Chain A
């Protein structure tokens, strides 16, 4: 028998097996369905029993840490304070003579001129150069 004919024959035979199995589908017991319904009702009772959640502030939710955070405006505020503190320590360590470099100025004559012009409030003069 050719391979394709054999496969067609196999498919036909399998279809008969499948049809037979569909007709004799396994049925659940009443006890099983009773357990399922008990579960369903118990879970449903849980939905109904859940009390309305009171509004919770950020501070209250995280205890003492949350209260501190709330005082400084959350993690963002605290982060800004930490950055400022680190910068202060570094500036103190490096000394006042390097402060101009930190701010982006170089100790050149050109920068000194610009500073003088700005100090006089004559910004147009700087722009004209």
Chain B
């Protein structure tokens, strides 16, 4: 099938076509899902090489389950958000070497780590601040405020309730505000 003809086809249908051997579907899905998986992995991990590695692993899982995919049961993007963020959470846990429940709301020295940044780039400041959050809070904040998912969508992706999502995002935002407080004047977001 021609690539243009697949532009308006849903992700779920494309995955079924891919599972049936449609090569054009493989290319279109790569162009749709590759950037999404990489972007979320990068925002979770803050490391380009590690994000590429993780996104490739998540997409490999997607390719393998394609023949069993049933349209109408789940959105491909929700499935991918779940796999990418869960894999990233596992890596963050291993990186920190502690359970998430034991992680402090705002680790000691987090603000100073942000203050040490050389340039004044706001997106980079946010990325550095996100890196200081416990993994589950970071996962919820990234999905809500950077990927633009609704709370019910996040609840499905994280396999938790909507109230738990609200709690995680609220705590995450409070922690980010605390970490970034010292940077706001410097970055042009000071009080009026």
Chain A min CB distance to B160 (Å): 22
Contact A40 B59, CB 8 Å, known A13-B189, A14-B173, A21-B146: yes
Residue tally, chain A, CB below 8 Å to B: 30
A39 to B, closest residue via Cβ? B60
Q: Is the CB of B18 within 8 A of A44?
A: yes
Q: How far is the CA of A26 from the CA of B44 in the complex (A)?
A: 11
Q: How far is the CA of A48 from the CA of B55 in the complex (A)?
A: 25
Chain A min CB distance to B155 (Å): 20
- A104 beta carbon closer than 8 Å to chain B: no
Contact A28 B191, CB 8 Å, known A11-B173, A14-B176, A37-B30: no
Residue tally, chain B, CB below 8 Å to A: 44
Q: How far is the CA of A19 from the CA of B173 in the complex (A)?
A: 14
Chain A min CB distance to B149 (Å): 13
- B82 beta carbon closer than 8 Å to chain A: no
- B87 beta carbon closer than 8 Å to chain A: no
Q: Mark B66-93, 1 if CB is under 8 A from A, else 0.
A: 1100000000000000000000000000
Q: Is the CB of A35 within 8 A of B122?
A: no
Count of A-B contacts with CB under 8 A? 106
- B21 beta carbon closer than 8 Å to chain A: yes
- A25 beta carbon closer than 8 Å to chain B: yes
- B168 beta carbon closer than 8 Å to chain A: no
Contacts of B123 in A (CB 8 A): 17, 20-21, 23-24
Chain A min CB distance to B117 (Å): 13
Contacts of B63 in A (CB 8 A): 39-40, 43-44
Q: How far is the CA of A23 from the CA of B67 in the complex (A)?
A: 35
Contact A16 B23, CB 8 Å, known A10-B177, A27-B35, A28-B34: no
Instruction: Name the contact of A33 in the complex, choosing from B31, B51, B127 (C-beta under 8 A).
Output: B31
Q: Is the CB of A39 within 8 A of B23?
A: no
Q: How far is the CA of A43 from the CA of B56 in the complex (A)?
A: 13
Summarize B's interface: helix, strand, loop or mixed: helix
Q: Mark B7-31, 1 if CB is under 8 A from A, else 0.
A: 0000000000011010100110111
Contacts of A18 in B (CB 8 A): 126, 145-146
Contact A14 B177, CB 8 Å, known A25-B39, A40-B30, A47-B21: yes
Q: Is the CB of B67 within 8 A of A47?
A: yes
- A32 beta carbon closer than 8 Å to chain B: yes
Chain A min CB distance to B154 (Å): 15
- A107 beta carbon closer than 8 Å to chain B: no
Q: How far is the CA of A22 from the CA of B146 in the complex (A)?
A: 6
Please list the 10 inter-chain residue pairs (A to B) with the smallest Cβ-Cβ separation, ordered nearest first: A10-B177, A43-B63, A28-B38, A26-B42, A40-B26, A20-B122, A18-B145, A17-B126, A21-B123, A37-B30
A-B contact pairs, 18 of them (CB 8 A): A14-B173, A17-B122, A17-B189, A18-B145, A21-B122, A21-B146, A22-B146, A24-B123, A25-B39, A26-B51, A28-B38, A37-B27, A37-B30, A39-B56, A40-B59, A40-B63, A43-B60, A47-B21
